């Protein structure tokens, strides 16, 4: 009986620990997303995005619904010879909604183009809605906009 209680307490502690730091979970999740994007590893990108038709990516004035359509669009951008994102975590802000939901807002620089012509550099603002699921933390929505430096 003691071992059953101990196991239950440990399971509850581990479950609680997964949600104890929503800001940290959001940052770790976004780190995995950036690493997968920079590696053009779309199978890894799939693992961090919510597998739902309600996953939302707002980019360039478009609303893209669903994980698979979002990944298809992301793959189009990755056809460039050079494609790399560099988040500026020194300016990142996390807004904890509750123990299972956080927004991570982070500026980043996108380097995209050809090696021969020299890639272009763009500044974006990204807000990622991160949520705890039974499978772990996932990005439920991404909102991207060009950074205005006025």
Q: How far apart are CA 131 and CA 149, in angstroms?
A: 30
DSSP assignment of 106-148: EEEEEEEE-TTT--EEEEEEEEEEEEEETTEEEEEEEEEEEPP
Q: How far apart are CA 114 and CA 120, in angstroms?
A: 8
Q: How far apart are CA 56 and CA 36, in angstroms?
A: 19
pLDDT tens string, the chain, 150 residues long: the values are 444 333 333 333 344 444 568 889 999 999 999 999 999 999 999 999 999 999 999 998 899 999 999 999 999 999 989 999 999 999 999 999 999 999 999 999 999 999 988 899 999 999 999 999 999 999 999 999 988 766
pLDDT at 150: 61
Going from N- to C-terminal start, the domains of the chain cover: 21-146
pLDDT at 55: 98
Q: How far apart are CA 52 and CA 113, in angstroms?
A: 31
CB 140 within 8 Å of CB 131: yes
pLDDT at 105: 97
Q: How far apart are CA 126 and CA 94, in angstroms?
A: 12
Burial letters 49-62, b for 16+ CB under 10 A, else e: bbeeeebbbebeee
- Residue 70: what are its φ and ψ, rounded to 5°? -65, -45
Asked if the 21-146 domain carries CATH number 3.10.450.50, the reply is yes
pLDDT at 53: 96
pTM greater than 0.75:
yes
pLDDT at 60: 82
């Amino acid at each position: 009986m003691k071992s059953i209680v101990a196991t239950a307490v440990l399971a509850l502690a581990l479950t609680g620990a997964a949600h104890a730091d929503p800001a940290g979970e959001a940052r770790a999740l976004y780190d995995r997303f950036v690493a997968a994007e920079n590696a053009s590893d779309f199978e890894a990108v799939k693992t961090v995005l919510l597998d739902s038709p309600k996953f939302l990516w707002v980019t360039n004035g478009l609303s893209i619904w669903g994980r698979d359509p979002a990944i298809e669009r992301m793959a189009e951008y990755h056809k460039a010879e050079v494609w790399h994102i560099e988040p500026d975590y020194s300016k990142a802000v996390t807004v904890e909604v509750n123990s299972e939901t956080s927004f991570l807002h982070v500026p980043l620089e996108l380097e995209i183009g050809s090696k021969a012509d020299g890639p272009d550099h763009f500044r974006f603002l990204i807000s990622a809605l991160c949520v705890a699921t039974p499978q772990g933390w996932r990005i439920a929505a991404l909102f991207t906009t060009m950074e205005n430096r006025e």
